[in-house]
Amino acid sequence: MNVHTFAQRKQQHQKISMVTCYDHWSAQILNTTEIDCLLVGDSLAVVMYGYESTVHATVDMMTLHVGAVARGAPDKFIVADMPFLTCSKGLGVAMDTVERLMQAGAHAVKIEGDSHQVDIIHHIVEAGVPVMGHLGLTPQSIHHLGGHRVQGKDEVNAAKIVESARRLEAAGCFSLVLECVPTVLGGCVSQALKIPTIGIGAGPQTDGQVLVLQDLLGVNPKFKPKFLRQYASGHSVVGDAVNQFHGDVVAGEFPTLAESYR
Ligand code: KIV
């Protein structure tokens, strides 16, 4: 996958699949799958570090995780999130962050919002770095948005999202994540753009779909937003395996002589 195949997929009406990936061992597994694209999302602050929001992801954190993923998934197209405020502190900070993420192994960066990002996005694209946009529910602005709410529900806000999407396309984004918007709006934005949209909670009409890996694996059984489909019972798979190991140790059944050195 590369930026050109993203565009081709849209032209040929072939959907794009993306999952988040934060670490080396899951990257090694994902490298053997048919998934199109990996996202080292700043959601790692929540999923991997237990913070309340993505605001806590730092450039150092993101860079370490991008490196771990890139070494584990050399065959995959890797997108890295630009962390909180890195595009709001001026071009210097933005470009330093882009440099670190790309040198760590990313092939593109993802940037939330469009308000003061458009010029910076244009500059990054002109510098030869592909940019994925992100509109709708933008978790870095969670405090401004007042929580995890579906965005663009009324006509005025829906029109603003379509307008923002057009601005991001004009600035040079090669694709756009649409998070938590009504199905009709997901379809509308996808039709309005030449670049592919990748939805999460944006309905079936977007040009691709993304989920957080741990969510689709069912690692946290209590996290069940409407848009999520759990493809495995990760919580019980891991819990059961560890309990079996514990039981074998306590019963003196692990290790056997065959599992020991002479
Ligand atoms: O950080 C992330 O995981 C994301 C996805 C939800 C799109 O931005």
Q: How far is CA 262 from CA 188, 249, 259, in A?
A: 67, 20, 10
Instruction: Give the pair of three-digit tokens for residue 52.
Output: 């309340």
Instruction: Give the pair of three-digit tokens for residue 114.
Output: 């469009």
- Report whether CATH 3.40.50.300 matches the domain 3-231: no
Instruction: Give this prediction's pTM.
Output: 0.97
Ligand 1 pocket residue status of 63, Cβ below 6 Å: no
Please indicate whether residue 169 is annotated as part of the active site: no
145's CB contacts (< 8 A; 6+ apart) are 137, 138, 151
Predicted confidence pLDDT, tens digits, the chain (262 residues) = 999 999 999 999 999 999 999 999 999 999 999 999 999 999 999 999 999 999 999 999 999 999 999 999 999 999 999 999 999 999 999 999 999 999 999 999 999 998 778 999 999 999 999 999 999 999 999 888 888 899 999 999 999 999 999 999 999 999 999 999 999 999 999 999 999 999 999 999 999 999 999 999 999 989 999 999 999 999 999 999 999 999 999 999 999 999 999 9
Domain boundaries, the chain: 3-231, 233-262
Q: Whose CA is nearest to atom 1 of ligand 1?
A: 41
Ligand 1 pocket residue status of 112, Cβ below 6 Å: no
86's CB contacts (< 8 A; 6+ apart) are 59, 93, 94, 97
pLDDT at 116: 73
The atom of ligand 1 lying closest to the CA of 18 is: 7
Q: Mind listing the pLDDT tens digit for each residue in 10-44? A: 999 999 999 999 999 999 999 999 999 999 999 99
pLDDT at 148: 87
- Of 52, 99, 126, 179, the catalytic one is 179
Q: Whose CA is nearest to atom 8 of ligand 1?
A: 41
Spacing, Cα 260 to ligand 1 middle (Å): 44
Ligand 1 pocket residue status of 218, Cβ below 6 Å: no
Ligand 1 pocket residue status of 81, Cβ below 6 Å: yes
Spacing, Cα 84 to ligand 1 middle (Å): 13
Spacing, Cα 80 to ligand 1 middle (Å): 10
